[in-house]
């Protein structure tokens, strides 16, 4: 078994996720007579969604048509203005729990659009955070595109050549090593390039610590949902440095036990939507094998 097991200090819930989950529980406790709905997963973690469901907080992809005495929670990733209006029209009381850092990206993107910039969003185009950012910008301008690689820029280079002002906002969970080559390529097209570095500080710190631990470890264990952007980015960063496994819970540990046993130093980190209990359960499961 490993001689050393390190746990990243930054592993687990970031402040935005922690606040959102605690607030949802508080809203339900204060409104026992009302139905509580979240449109889409509040965070990318199935254990948390299950826990909330047991409390009577329903995660849905489509809201019921007739809302009477019901609350709809806007999840941490944010929502499109069109969907917010639809929720309001259905009669729901709305509680907006969009992460403050995501709100900042939306506002900075809108300000760039208002000031005549062609807005580039660096991120995954189908991620709910990016979908909401883009929709907010499109209220003011259709001059917006989502890119996640240098190839994506090549696909719109003719459009970029016709825009002397390019503004950039970044999905909060993007890794810097993905952002930098995109920014470098954009400099070839723009006479005026304005970059809003909107990667949240929690993401930066988590990625920095994971890289440092990976350099010191024979094996990295990254805990969190496979649907979580920030968790998958962590796993990708670590895989470039050392042996890395990405698991969602302690239930997957047995698959990798031989690898764990043959590693001298194992380090554990986790995504921003991973509860502390999951991290503790993984550690307990590994130590039971000693």
Regarding whether 177 and 115 lie in a shared domain, the answer is yes
Rounded-to-integer distance, Cα 272 and Cα 206, Å: 9
Please choose, from the candidates 120, 134, 60, the residue with its C-alpha nearest in 3D space to the C-alpha of residue 90: 60
User: How buried is 61 (Cβ within 10 angstroms: 0-12 exposed, 13-18 middle, 19+ buried)?
Assistant: exposed
Residue 70 maps to which CATH number? 3.40.50.11270
- The pLDDT score that the predictor gives to residue 65 is 85
Regarding whether 208 and 278 lie in a shared domain, the answer is yes
- The pLDDT score that the predictor gives to residue 66 is 76
Q: What is the mean pLDDT of residues 242-248?
A: 97
Q: Is the pLDDT of residue 242 over 70?
A: yes
Regarding whether 242 and 172 lie in a shared domain, the answer is no
Rounded-to-integer distance, Cα 108 and Cα 199, Å: 12
Q: What is the count of structural domains for the chain?
A: 3
* Residue % of the chain over a pLDDT of 90: 87
Q: Is the pLDDT of residue 290 over 70?
A: no
- Rg of the chain in Å (alpha carbons): 21
Among 66, 81, 99, give the residue marking a domain's end.
Answer: 99
Catalytic residue among 22, 53, 129, 150: 129
Length of the chain measured in residues: 290
- The pLDDT score that the predictor gives to residue 136 is 98
Split at pLDDT 50, 70, 90, the class of 2 is confident
Rounded-to-integer distance, Cα 280 and Cα 16, Å: 21
Q: What is the mean pLDDT of residues 196-225?
A: 95
Q: What is the mean pLDDT of residues 209-238?
A: 95
194: region left, alpha or beta (phi > 0 left; psi from -120 to 50 alpha): beta
- The pLDDT score that the predictor gives to residue 244 is 98
Q: Is the pLDDT of residue 205 over 80?
A: yes
Cβ neighbours of residue 259 under 8 Å, at least 6 residues apart?
Answer: 219, 243, 245
Tokens of 138: 């499109």
Residue 129 appears among annotated catalytic residues: yes
106 vs 14, 73, 169, 273, CA distance in Å?
19, 18, 9, 21
Regarding whether 124 and 140 lie in a shared domain, the answer is yes
239 vs 218, 250, 255, 265, 281, CA distance in Å?
11, 20, 18, 15, 23
- The pLDDT score that the predictor gives to residue 7 is 96
Regarding whether 205 and 170 lie in a shared domain, the answer is no
Rounded-to-integer distance, Cα 167 and Cα 195, Å: 6
First CA to last CA distance, the chain: 6
- Parent domain of 175: 101-195
Regarding whether 119 and 44 lie in a shared domain, the answer is no
Regarding whether 208 and 172 lie in a shared domain, the answer is no
- The pLDDT score that the predictor gives to residue 61 is 93
Mean pLDDT over all residues of the chain? Answer: 94
Among 169, 195, 221, give the residue marking a domain's end.
Answer: 195
pLDDT digits (tens, 9 = 90+) for 71-81: 999 999 999 99
Tokens of 35: 């139905």
Regarding whether 125 and 86 lie in a shared domain, the answer is no
DSSP state of 252: G
H-helix segments, the chain: 15-30, 46-54, 81-89, 100-114, 128-137, 150-155, 157-161, 176-186, 201-216, 229-239, 257-261, 276-288
Residue 155 maps to which CATH number? 3.40.1010.20
Among 160, 195, 230, give the residue marking a domain's end.
Answer: 195
Regarding whether 180 and 205 lie in a shared domain, the answer is no
Rounded-to-integer distance, Cα 275 and Cα 290, Å: 24
Rounded-to-integer distance, Cα 114 and Cα 122, Å: 19
CB 274 within 8 A of CB 48: no
């Amino acid at each position: 078994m490993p001689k050393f097991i390190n746990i990243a200090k930054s592993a687990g819930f970031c402040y935005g996720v922690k606040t959102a989950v605690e607030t949802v529980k508080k809203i339900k406790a204060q409104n026992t007579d009302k139905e509580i709905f979240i449109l889409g997963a509040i965070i990318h973690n199935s254990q948390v969604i299950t826990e909330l469901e047991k409390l009577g907080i329903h995660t849905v992809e489509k809201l019921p048509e007739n809302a009477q005495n019901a609350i709809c929670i806007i999840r941490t990733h944010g929502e499109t203005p069109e969907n917010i209006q639809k929720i309001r029209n259905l009669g729901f009381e709305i509680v907006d729990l969009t992460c403050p850092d995501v709100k900042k990206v939306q506002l900075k993107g809108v300000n760039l659009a208002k000031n005549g910039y062609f807005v580039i969003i660096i991120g995954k185009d189908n991620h709910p955070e990016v979908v909401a950012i883009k929709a907010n910008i499109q209220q003011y301008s259709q001059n917006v595109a989502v890119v996640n690689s240098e190839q994506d820029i090549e696909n719109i280079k003719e459009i970029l050549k016709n825009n002397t002002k390019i503004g950039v906002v970044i999905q909060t969970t993007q890794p810097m090593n993905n952002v930098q080559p995109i920014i470098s390529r954009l400099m070839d097209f723009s006479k005026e390039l304005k970059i809003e570095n909107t990667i949240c500080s929690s993401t930066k710190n988590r990625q920095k610590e994971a890289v440092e631990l990976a350099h010191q470890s024979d094996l990295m264990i990254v805990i969190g949902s496979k649907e979580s952007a920030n968790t998958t980015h962590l796993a990708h960063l670590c895989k470039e440095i050392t042996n890395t496994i990405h698991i969602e819970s302690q239930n997957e540990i047995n698959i990798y036990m031989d690898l764990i046993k043959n590693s001298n130093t194992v380090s554990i980190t986790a995504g921003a939507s991973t509860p502390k209990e999951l991290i503790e359960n993984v550690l307990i499961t590994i130590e039971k094998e000693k």
